[in-house]
Every structure is written in structure tokens, then in C-alpha cells.
Amino acid sequence: MNVAVIGASQTKFGELWDKSLIDLLAESELAAIRDANIEPFQIDIIFTGNMCAGPLLGQLNLSSIASEILGLSVPSNSTEGSCASGALALRAGIMAIESGMANIVLVNGVEKMTDEATEQVTTALMGAASTEQELFCGATFPALNALIARAYMHKFNLTREQLAMVSVKNHYNGSLNPLAHLQRKISIDQVINAPMVAAPLTLLDCAPISDGAASLVLCNQKIAKQCNKEMVSIIGSGQASGPLSLHNRDTLYSLKTTTIAAQQAYKQAGIIPQDIHVAEIHNAFSILEIITLEDLGICEQGTAGKITEEGWTALDGKIPISPSGGLKANGHPVGATGVFQVVEIYNQLLGRCNNRQVKNAKIGLTHAMGGIGATIAVNIFKKN
Amino acid sequence: MNVAVIGASQTKFGELWDKSLIDLLAESELAAIRDANIEPFQIDIIFTGNMCAGPLLGQLNLSSIASEILGLSVPSNSTEGSCASGALALRAGIMAIESGMANIVLVNGVEKMTDEATEQVTTALMGAASTEQELFCGATFPALNALIARAYMHKFNLTREQLAMVSVKNHYNGSLNPLAHLQRKISIDQVINAPMVAAPLTLLDCAPISDGAASLVLCNQKIAKQCNKEMVSIIGSGQASGPLSLHNRDTLYSLKTTTIAAQQAYKQAGIIPQDIHVAEIHNAFSILEIITLEDLGICEQGTAGKITEEGWTALDGKIPISPSGGLKANGHPVGATGVFQVVEIYNQLLGRCNNRQVKNAKIGLTHAMGGIGATIAVNIFKKN
């Protein structure tokens, strides 16, 4: 592929009462442009991932806001694939460059969630699942993920402690990330004894509701090389779609779409899962990290709890997972999530992550999920 | 460009009480696939334009619904640019083919608006404008367009009768379109004396609130030729973004974004406005057709009322505008609108429009608008 990342930014994530959706988008866009050392007028096309601004804020047409912030009249488009919206903006950006219709593309993800009550946010998030088959029956996202957790724990003897270790690891990473929503370490006991959300998942198995934005500057690789830009190449990209509601699935133990998208990306990149040095994966609920490790081919089905317990996924482990703290601790401003994952991998590959820097990271992977595996995008990055 | 349309469909538009969002999307997808004479498994990527399913129905992630309907696991993405959402799906489809990442692309636009009360729909539609600077001040879309109409009428001596003739012409065309939402002819007197919505715009100056879906099958042109498909080539495509709220504009008499996008498209197509034989333009309010005729370069500024009065834009005129009935009479299911416009031009260029067929139409144009010119896409089509 012909596409490189030449700049990246993430705003502080959290409950940002003093910042609006537009404030966050503007801050993120300008920081990425600065990081790429380009001028706004060099941007040919903008893509912005967002999920909830329509249902929560009543604000649509973010595409035109994204260009107006920069004083540009260039084509601008918004993408939506629920929690994978930001990753779909990245995919659109890749296509724009590969098509020759753009040389430099700005990719954003943004979400402002804390202006509404949690109940309304929970309902809005169910837009990522089937309203007719799940929301109207009273299901919430934690409840649907709890079903999966129960089924998986029963089938593969995953222990409650192993599941909790996912959150403990992600919170540890978040404690090293000054932009993370949650920057405190937690213990296995704290996870298990936290308030129950949907058994077996407690509050500390679930990602927080976050505000935040993230941006990337993509560039045609040949042009980036001519300009002598520090860059990270996108060497593989895959995307797959699957059934929206859980009852239409063949299995609850695995999300087939992750495997399909990953295989496309591995094939294009010419690598195997064991070649990955660092990954940011969709861990909105602890159980999703367990299942995703297996679906990505990082370990055999049924063994993700064991490798988590053995420390493979820790910062100094065999394959560090979500060094940013992931959705659990860095936060989950849903439309921004698919973009912040790339920001983290970009920074990791360039060695800019200070205390949470993964050693010798040369190939990184991002895994974004919309719905519970209904939309999956996997991208692979390599340091030039 | 390398992209052709090889199949197209539009559902019946209207207040479709017996059909859900998913029903409409499924009907439209399957009809376009039949029209293209392909099998679903031949589709590489899907793009779906939608604006209001989030705020009105709580259903997001339409991308995965669009693929699930067809039993596919291919990449699927939703695009949003308010009333231009469908046109942005088309633009994304063009990029996917031009990038080589897809040979056959399914493009959808869908909207289900009549499940909610009109007041809620009016509020949801204001998501296309600035919530902070316009909605919160009490503005509605008819009110914003009325401001423009007043300013334009004062500046260029457009008469109330000339403005009404836009709706009379569009309703006449709609009366010949069996899929149109509104299929009855109206008179100038009826327009002027209809209930006032926002002076000077009456009910008959405004597009209806419609349910509906439309789909296109795009194909790499070389492959389409090899398969001996009947097709229409996309020969030019332009897109521009502008300020969201009216108070940030240089002028109310013109939408500069239309001119920027059109010039890109004309240049790529190697034509001038006078080469266009038929066009579908964004006429959600009568005044927008007047202004757009000028911004597209079809006539000089200040003369669109006169050429409308002289019958240029009628079915048998110099440049028939919105033979489908346009947004005013065919209807305005907002996410579907940018796609139905292409469906009509495709059918016109292939001579499939029966009573409303434009004679000798070989080059056609579509003009889609999100917000009041905040997002504009112009595409040009040619019969092969």
C-alpha cells in the first residue's frame, strides 16, 4: 500500500465539562496538523468518524464543521460504524489516497458523551446493536457482553480472576498515560468487588463514558518520502461485517469478523500474528479483549485467560496489548476510539511513549469494533 | 474516471407506514442488484448514506445491517453529510473503485422519517445546520431558507409567481413519476395561497418529509465493458464544504460551494454547463432551485426566475431540471436523496423514464446539498 501516517494527536480523554464537541475536534485537528508539520491548505480531503453526535447532541453534518474549523472548502465526509466509526474514517482515508483523489488526508474521530445523562448515553450506544431485536427487549451493551462472558467462561474455564486481570493490566497502562481518562492502578479484588453492572461484569470490567477526539494526517508515501517526513506506513488493512444481533450468530465464543478482517490485513502485510510487536484492540469490556486475542490469532481459542495471567499482554510481555490503557483506561469516546488506537500505535512505533513505551516495537496492529463484532476493521502499521 | 453505474433502484417514496428502515433498505438493495444483473456475492464493498436513523430511530451501525441483509461479510461503511449523505456514499464508492480496493460497489441511501412526530423530525433535520448558532436560537430549516428567499427576491426582483413556478414544474414532473411521494399537479395560485410555513415560503415551496431508499451498483468500467453491461459512466465528480451557519456566509444570494464543486466536476468531465442535457438538483425549498441554477452556471446570477418562467427547466425545456419531481415532489428521504438523484439520471440517460423521459439526454448532472450549502457534491454522468 501507498499510505503513511505522518502526524497524530489525541486530546485529553475524560469527562471534559468545559469543552464542546467542536472544541475537541478543533483541538485535535490542529494538533495533528502541527505534528505532521504541514499547513491546513495542504489537506485534500477530510474524514471524521463519529457515532453519537446525532442522537445525543442533535448535531449532524460534522463533515462541514471539520473543514470549517480549518477555513477549508475541501471535500469532507463523516463515517459511522458505531464504535468503529473512527477506524472507518481511516479506511476511507486510505481509499482516498490509493485512488489518487488525494495526497494528504486528515482523519478525525470525535465524541462528546457527557453532556447527557448516563441513561440516555446507554440508550444511544444501543444504536450499535439491533434496536428491534435487542434494545426493545431491554438489553444494554453490558448485558449483551455479560452473556458472552458467561458463555465463554463456562466453555473454556476462564476464571473470574483471569478476566479481572485484563482490566488490571489496562488500568496499569492507563496510569502511565497522561491523556488517559482513568489514570489509577486497580487490583484484581477491586475489579471483582466493584459494583455489579451485568453479572459477571462489574463496573471495572467496563470502559468508561468519555469525551475526546483524535486525529491523523495520512499522506501518499512517495510524497512523504520526498518531503523527508518521519512516518509510519500502513502495510495492511482489512474490514468485515457480521450479524448485528447476538441471536443471529453461529457462536458466542468468537467474533468471526475479527478473524476475517485480520486475515485480510495479515495477507496484505505479508505477516503472521506472531510478527506483531504491539497492538491496540477493542476492549470496551474485559471479555472482548480475551476473545479478540484469540480471533486475531495471537493465541489458541480458550487460552487467552492463561496468557493474560502469564503476563504476555503486559507492557513488558510477549505482545503488549493496549499500552495506551485501551478503551478501559485511556477511555472510549466511541467515534474517536478507532483513531486513538492508531495514534497510540504511531507513537509507539516512533518511540514517543515515555514510561509506557514498548521496547523494539516495529510492527503494530489496531483492531476496532462496532457493535459486538458487527463491524470490524484491522490495520497494520510498520515503522519506515 | 474509471467508474460506471450498472444498476439502480428507487423504492416508492412517501409516508410508508407499513415499512421499516430495514425493509426499505432491503427492498432497494435487492432491486439494484437485480437491475445490475449481478449476484450479491460479487459485491466488494457497501456504502450507505443516512442522516436521521440515529436521532429518530436510535439505530446506528446501518453499515452492518446493509451487509447482513445480503448475507455478506464484506466491508460496509455509513456516510453522513446530512441531506447530502447519499451523495457522499456515492463519492466513497467512486474512491473505492478508483483505489483498486473494489471492482463492484453497492451504494445505498435510506431514510425512515415518518415514525416520529413532525416536530421531532424538524428538530432532527436542524442537525444539518448549526445547533449552537441556529437551532438553539429557534431557527428551523424553512425559516433559514425563508431568510435567503427574502434577501434574493429583494436583490434580484424575483417575483412570488416566478418562485412558485419552481414548485409547479416539480409537481408536474412528479405527477408523471409513479414512485414519487407527491403525484399531483399544482397551480401558481395554490402555491402562493398554501398555508404559510415561513414567509415568503408556503407549504408548497417546501419538500415533504418522506420515507424511502435508493441504491446504485457501481462497477470498474473496464470490467463492466468486458461483461457487456448496459452502463452510464461517471465522468466528473466534485465536492466542497462551506460554513455551517448562515451568519458566517459572505452572501445569501449564492452558495459558493455549489460553484466550487461544479467547477471541479465540469473540469474533470471536460464540459461546460451548457453541455448538460438533464439535471437533478437539490430543491428542498423552491428558492434553492433558483439559486442553484445560477451557482451551477446554467444561467447568470439574477436570471433564474426569468428562465424558469420561460420554461427552460421544464421537461421539454432547454435544460430539464429534476424530471423525477425533485425533492419537492419525488420526495426528500434525506439520506436517500443524493442517491435517488443518480437513479433518475441513470434512468434518463438509458431512456427508461416513460412519460417523463427527457429527449436525447446523453449527459446528466446531479447536485446534492447538505445543510444550506455546507456540503455540496456534484456528479456528471454520460451514456456510453
Q: What's the pTM?
A: 0.97
Note the pLDDT of residue B21: 97
Nearest CA in chain A to B134: A59
Q: Grade residue B176 by pLDDT with cuts at 50, 70 and 90.
A: very high
Nearest CA in chain A to B100: A99
Q: What percent of chain A has pLDDT over 70?
A: 100
In this predicted model, what pLDDT tens digit does every residue of B190-205 receive, in sequence order?
A: 999 999 999 999 999 9
Nearest CA-CA partner of B7 in B143, B147, B108: B108
Note the pLDDT of residue A229: 77
Cβ-defined contacts of A360-363 (< 8 Å, 24+): A360/A277, A361/A277, A361/A278, A361/A320, A362/A277, A363/A235, A363/A269, A363/A271, A363/A275, A363/A276, A363/A277, A363/A278
Joined grid coordinates for residue A93? 482515508
With an 8 Å Cβ cutoff, is A25 touching chain B?
A: no
Q: Are strands B45-49 and B76-80 parallel, antiparallel or unpaired?
A: parallel
With an 8 Å Cβ cutoff, is A303 touching chain B?
A: no
Mean pLDDT of A333-348: 98
Note the pLDDT of residue A341: 98
Number of Cβ within a 10 Å radius of residue B120: 14
Do residues B160 and B200 touch, judged by C-beta distance below 8 A?
yes
Q: Which has the minimum average pLDDT: A50-54, A133-137, B49-53?
A: A133-137
Do residues A49 and A366 touch, judged by C-beta distance below 8 A?
no
Which has more confidence, A367 or A116? A367
With an 8 Å Cβ cutoff, is A57 touching chain B?
A: yes
Q: Respond yes or no: is residue B227 known to be catalytic.
A: no
Note the pLDDT of residue A60: 96
Do residues A61 and B370 touch, judged by C-beta distance below 8 A?
yes
Mean pLDDT of A97-125: 95
- Kindly give the residue spans of alpha helices, DSSP state H, lying in A231-378: 256-269, 286-295, 304-309, 326-329, 334-349
With an 8 Å Cβ cutoff, is B80 touching chain A?
A: yes
A vs B, Cβ pairs < 8 A, gives 216
Q: Which has the minimum average pLDDT: B15-24, B227-236, B289-298, B362-371?
A: B227-236
In this predicted model, what pLDDT tens digit does every residue of B70-112 receive, in sequence order?
A: 999 999 999 999 999 999 999 999 999 999 999 999 999 999 9
Catalytic pick from B52, B83, B206, B353?
B83
- As a whole number, the mean pLDDT across chain A is 97
Q: What percent of chain A has pLDDT over 90?
A: 96
Residues 114-153 of A with CB under 8 A from B: 123-124, 126-132, 135
CB atoms A77 and B91 under 8 Å: yes
Distance, CA of A371 to CA of B64 (rounded, Å): 9
Joined grid coordinates for residue B77? 461503511
Joined grid coordinates for residue B89? 456514499
CB atoms B127 and A239 under 8 Å: no
CA distance B45 to chain A (A): 10
Q: Using CB atoms, which residue from A59, A77, A377 is nearest to B81?
A: A77
CB atoms B73 and A132 under 8 Å: no
Distance, CA of A34 to CA of A8 (rounded, Å): 9
Q: Is the pLDDT of residue A226 over 90?
A: no
- DSSP-derived secondary structure for B328-360: HHT---HHHHHHHHHHHHHHHHTT--GGGPPTT
CB within 8 Å of B137: residues ≥ 6 apart: none
State the residue for C-alpha cell 486475542: A293
CA distance B24 to chain A (A): 15
Q: Is the pLDDT of residue B228 over 80?
A: no
Mean pLDDT of A38-64: 97
In this predicted model, what pLDDT tens digit does every residue of B307-324 receive, in sequence order?
A: 999 999 999 999 999 999
Cis omega (within 30 of 0) for bond into A320: no
Nearest CA-CA partner of B90 in B38, B45, B27, B127: B45
CB atoms B63 and A260 under 8 Å: no
CB atoms B64 and A374 under 8 Å: yes
Mean pLDDT of A94-110: 98
Distance, CA of B345 to CA of B337 (rounded, Å): 13
Q: Is the pLDDT of residue B229 over 80?
A: no
Note the pLDDT of residue A230: 83
B213: left (phi over 0), alpha (psi -120 to 50) or beta: beta
Distance of CA A378 to the CA centre of its chain: 10
B-chain CB neighbours of A260 within 8 Å are 73
State the residue for C-alpha cell 478501559: A328
Note the pLDDT of residue A232: 97
Q: What is the ipTM of this complex?
A: 0.97
Q: Is the pLDDT of residue B333 over 80?
A: yes
Mean pLDDT of B141-156: 97
State the residue for C-alpha cell 495492511: A236
State the residue for C-alpha cell 457493535: A371
Joined grid coordinates for residue B240? 466542497
Mean pLDDT of B260-282: 98
Nearest CA in chain B to A52: B54
Nearest CA-CA partner of A9 in A279, A343, A327, A338: A343
With an 8 Å Cβ cutoff, is A370 touching chain B?
A: yes
CA distance A166 to chain B (A): 27
In this predicted model, what pLDDT tens digit does every residue of A140-186 receive, in sequence order?
A: 999 999 999 999 999 999 999 999 999 999 999 999 999 999 999 99
CB atoms A58 and B55 under 8 Å: yes
CA distance B101 to chain A (A): 7
CB atoms A64 and B101 under 8 Å: no
Q: Grade residue B207 by pLDDT with cuts at 50, 70 and 90.
A: very high
Note the pLDDT of residue A162: 98
Note the pLDDT of residue B226: 85
Note the pLDDT of residue B187: 98
- As a whole number, the mean pLDDT across chain B is 97
Give which of B29, B68, B133, B241 to mutate to test A binding, by max A Cβ within 10 Å: B241
DSSP lists the bridge partners of residue A14 as A211
CB atoms B375 and A129 under 8 Å: no
Nearest CA in chain A to B86: A77
Note the pLDDT of residue B358: 98
State the residue for C-alpha cell 432551485: B289
DSSP B54: I
Distance, CA of A94 to CA of A89 (rounded, Å): 9
Nearest CA in chain A to B62: A81
Distance, CA of A311 to CA of A306 (rounded, Å): 9
Note the pLDDT of residue B334: 98
In this predicted model, what pLDDT tens digit does every residue of A277-327 receive, in sequence order?
A: 999 999 999 999 999 999 999 999 999 999 999 999 999 999 999 999 999
Nearest CA-CA partner of A231 in A349, A55, A354: A349
Q: Is the pLDDT of residue B230 over 90?
A: no
Mean pLDDT of B24-44: 97
Mean pLDDT of A69-80: 98
Residues 278-297 of B with CB under 8 A from A: none
Q: Is the pLDDT of residue B268 over 90?
A: yes
CB atoms A375 and B64 under 8 Å: yes
Q: Which active-site residues of A does the annotation give?
A: 83, 332
Helix/strand/coil for A345? helix
